C-alpha cells in the first residue's frame, strides 16, 4: 500500500507540473489608439463618424482600445494645443495617435517631432505627400469627392427651381474640391440626364467660417440655410459637420414649402428626418482605421500619404468602403435608379467628371479639353469652378 501511495504521489506530481508548465490562453497584445476630435464625439457628423471608426477597431482587433478627446477647437477648449493633448494621450498609453481635422496640421507635426517613438496619422493633411512630415507621421483621407458628386446629382435631379445652395464651412483646398465635386455632379445631372441648359442651374456657396457654428465667430448656419430657402433655393447640400441644413429644411417643410437637404459626414444623419432628406455622403473610417492599427501593431506600417477610394462594387459596405452615400426618404425611386446608374458609371470609369474642359471661377483654365485631372490637381484645387457662385478665397 505504501508503494502504491508513492507511485500515485509521483504520478500526481507529474500531472501537476505539466499543468503548471502548459501554455495558457494567449492574451491579445494591448494596443491603444488615441483619437483627437475637432467636434463633439456625438455630433451626428464628422467627429462621430471618426469616433465610431475607433469603436469599429475595438470590436475587431483583440486587445485594442480607444482613448479620445473631443471638442479640440479654439471655441470649446480655448488655449488648449494639440501637443498638449498628445502629451496626455501618450501618458495614458497611446500607441497610435490620430488627429482628426485639417486645422490640427501644425500642432500634430510639432507633437510627432516631440514623440518620435510613437506613430501619428493626420486625417486630411498632406505633409507626408510634400515631404515635410517627420518619419513617424502619415496622412490619411478618403475620396469624399465621389459621394459629394452623388449628393450634387441627387440635388439637381430633385430641384424644381434649378437653385441649389451649398452650406460651406471654412475655405481651403479640401472644401473647394469637395464643393466643386458636388457642382460637377449637379451639372452632369442637370444637363446630361435632365437635358436642361447649364445657364438655368444656380449653384451658390455660402461659407460660415468653420466646420460648425461658433457664436460670435462664424456665420450662423441656421440663418444661412434659412436665407437660401427664403430666396428660392429648394435644395441645400451641407458641407459642415452639424445638421442645421436638415433642421431648417424640416421647419420650412412644416410651413408648407417643398424643400430638401443633404447633410454630411455621418451615415445616419438622415434617420428620423423624413422626406426632406435626400441622402447623405458619409465617411466610414472603420476599415481604414483597422488597417492602420493592424499595421502599426505588427510593425509593418510605413508612414505615407493615403487617399482611399470607394469600394465601387458596394459603396455602402461597412467593411470595405471608406466612403458611401446613404439614400434618404426624400429620394424618389426614379431618381435613385438614375443615381445608381451614375454611381456604376463612375465606378467603371465610363464617367470621370474631373475631365476638361473645365475652367476656374475667374475663367482661367483648370483642365484642357480631354485632360483628366491628376490627384494633385484635384487635391490642390485653387478656386471654385466656372458656373459656381460664391467666394473661392477668404481674402
Is 325 in contact with 279 (CB distance < 8 Å)? Answer: yes
Lowest mean pLDDT among 21-30, 74-83, 216-225, 312-321: 21-30
Whether 314 is covered by a domain: the verdict is no
Q: In the prediction, which pLDDT does 25 show?
A: 44
Whether 211 is covered by a domain: the verdict is yes
Query: Do 223 and 349 fall within a single domain?
Result: yes
Query: Do 168 and 184 fall within a single domain?
Result: yes
HEC per residue, 317-357:
CCCCCCEEEEECCCCCHHHHHHHHHHHHHHHHCCCCCCECC
Residue entry with cell 442651374: 201
Is 238 in contact with 211 (CB distance < 8 Å)? Answer: no
Q: Model confidence at 17, in pLDDT bands (50, 70, 90)?
A: very low
Whether 26 is covered by a domain: the verdict is no
Query: Do 136 and 152 fall within a single domain?
Result: no
Query: Do 134 and 192 fall within a single domain?
Result: no
Query: Do 136 and 166 fall within a single domain?
Result: no
- How crowded is the C-beta side of 278, counted as CA atoms within 13 Å? 30
Whether 383 is covered by a domain: the verdict is yes
Whether 244 is covered by a domain: the verdict is yes
List phi, psi (to 5°) of 359: -110, 155
Residue 277: pLDDT over 50: yes
Helix axes 82-91, 105-114, angle to 10 degrees: 40
Q: In the prediction, which pLDDT does 3 show?
A: 47
Q: What is the pTM (predicted TM-score) of this model?
A: 0.90
Query: Do 88 and 228 fall within a single domain?
Result: no
Whether 62 is covered by a domain: the verdict is yes
Q: In the prediction, which pLDDT does 28 show?
A: 57
Query: Do 50 and 154 fall within a single domain?
Result: no
Q: In the prediction, which pLDDT does 231 show?
A: 97
Q: Model confidence at 124, in pLDDT bands (50, 70, 90)?
A: confident
Percentage of residues in the chain having pLDDT higher than 90: 88
Query: Do 80 and 126 fall within a single domain?
Result: yes
Distance CA 91, CA 110 (A): 17
Total domain count, the chain: 2
Query: Do 269 and 290 fall within a single domain?
Result: no
Provide mean pLDDT across the span 272-287.
96
Distance CA 92, CA 11 (A): 48
Task: Tell me the pLDDT tens digit for each residue of 110-121.
Answer: 999 999 999 999
Task: Tell me the pLDDT tens digit for each residue of 25-79.
Answer: 444 579 999 999 999 999 888 999 999 999 999 999 999 999 999 999 988 999 9
Distance CA 312, CA 158 (A): 24
Express the helix, strand and coil content of the chain in percent, nearest 5 each: 40, 20, 40
Question: What secondary structure letter does DSSP report for 280?
Answer: E
Residue 7: pLDDT over 60: no
Question: What secondary structure letter does DSSP report for 215?
Answer: T
What 3-state DSSP class applies to 103?
A: helix
Residue 315: pLDDT over 70: yes
C-alpha torsion 295→300→302→304, nearest 10: -40
Query: Do 224 and 302 fall within a single domain?
Result: no
Q: In the prediction, which pLDDT does 10 show?
A: 41
Residue 199: pLDDT over 90: yes
What is the chain's mean pLDDT, rounded? 92
Distance CA 383, CA 330 (A): 32
Residue 190: pLDDT over 50: yes
Provide mean pLDDT across the span 298-308.
96
Distance CA 34, CA 31 (A): 10
Whether 88 is covered by a domain: the verdict is yes
Residue 195: pLDDT over 70: yes
Whether 6 is covered by a domain: the verdict is no
Q: CB neighbours (10 Å) of residue 214?
A: 16
Residue 8: pLDDT over 90: no
Percentage of residues in the chain having pLDDT higher than 70: 93
Provide mean pLDDT across the span 100-111.
95
Is 84 in contact with 62 (CB distance < 8 Å)? Answer: no
Question: What secondary structure letter does DSSP report for 309?
Answer: P
Query: Do 204 and 94 fall within a single domain?
Result: no
Query: Do 209 and 100 fall within a single domain?
Result: no
Domain of 246, CATH number, reads 3.40.50.2300
Domain ranges, residue 383: 145-282+326-389
Amino acid at each position: 500500500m505504501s508503494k502504491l501511495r508513492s507511485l500515485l504521489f509521483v504520478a500526481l506530481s507529474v500531472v501537476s507540473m505539466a499543468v503548471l508548465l502548459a501554455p495558457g490562453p494567449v492574451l491579445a497584445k494591448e494596443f491603444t489608439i488615441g483619437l483627437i476630435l475637432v467636434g463633439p464625439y456625438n455630433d451626428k457628423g464628422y467627429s462621430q463618424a471618426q469616433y465610431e471608426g475607433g469603436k469599429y477597431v475595438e470590436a475587431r482587433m483583440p486587445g485594442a482600445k480607444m482613448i479620445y478627446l473631443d471638442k479640440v477647437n479654439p471655441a470649446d477648449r480655448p488655449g488648449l494645443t494639440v501637443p498638449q493633448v498628445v502629451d496626455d494621450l501618450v501618458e495614458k498609453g497611446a500607441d497610435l495617435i490620430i488627429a482628426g481635422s485639417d486645422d490640427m496640421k501644425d500642432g500634430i507635426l510639432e507633437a510627432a517631432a516631440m514623440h518620435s517613438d510613437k506613430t501619428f496619422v493626420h486625417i486630411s493633411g498632406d505633409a507626408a505627400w510634400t515631404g515635410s512630415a517627420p518619419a513617424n507621421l502619415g496622412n490619411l483621407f478618403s475620396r469624399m469627392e465621389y459621394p459629394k458628386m452623388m449628393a450634387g446629382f441627387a440635388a439637381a435631379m430633385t430641384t424644381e427651381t434649378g437653385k441649389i445652395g451649398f452650406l460651406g464651412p471654412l475655405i481651403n483646398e479640401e472644401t473647394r474640391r469637395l464643393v466643386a465635386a458636388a457642382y460637377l455632379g449637379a451639372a452632369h445631372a442637370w444637363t446630361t440626364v435632365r437635358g436642361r441648359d447649364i445657364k438655368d442651374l444656380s449653384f451658390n456657396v455660402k461659407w460660415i467660417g468653420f466646420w460648425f457654428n461658433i457664436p460670435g465667430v462664424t456665420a450662423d448656419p441656421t440663418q444661412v440655410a434659412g436665407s437660401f430657402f427664403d430666396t428660392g433655393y429648394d435644395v441645400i447640400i451641407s458641407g459642415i459637420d452639424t445638421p442645421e441644413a436638415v433642421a431648417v429644411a424640416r421647419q420650412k417643410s412644416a410651413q408648407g414649402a417643398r424643400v430638401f437637404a443633404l447633410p454630411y459626414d455621418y451615415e445616419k444623419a438622415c434617420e428620423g428626418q423624413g422626406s426632406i432628406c435626400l441622402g447623405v455622403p458619409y465617411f466610414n473610417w472603420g476599415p481604414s482605421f483597422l488597417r492602420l492599427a493592424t499595421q502599426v501593431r505588427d510593425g509593418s506600417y510605413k508612414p505615407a500619404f493615403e487617399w482611399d477610394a470607394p469600394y465601387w462594387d458596394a459603396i455602402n459596405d461597412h467593411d470595405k468602403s471608406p466612403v458611401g452615400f446613404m439614400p434618404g426618404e426624400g429620394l424618389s425611386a426614379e431618381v435613385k435608379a438614375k443615381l445608381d446608374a451614375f454611381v456604376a458609371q463612375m465606378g467603371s470609369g465610363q464617367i470621370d467628371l474631373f475631365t476638361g474642359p473645365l475652367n476656374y471661377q475667374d475663367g482661367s483654365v483648370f483642365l484642357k479639353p480631354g485632360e483628366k485631372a491628376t490627384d494633385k490637381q484635384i487635391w490642390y484645387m485653387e478656386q471654385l469652378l466656372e458656373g459656381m457662385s460664391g467666394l473661392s478665397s477668404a481674402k
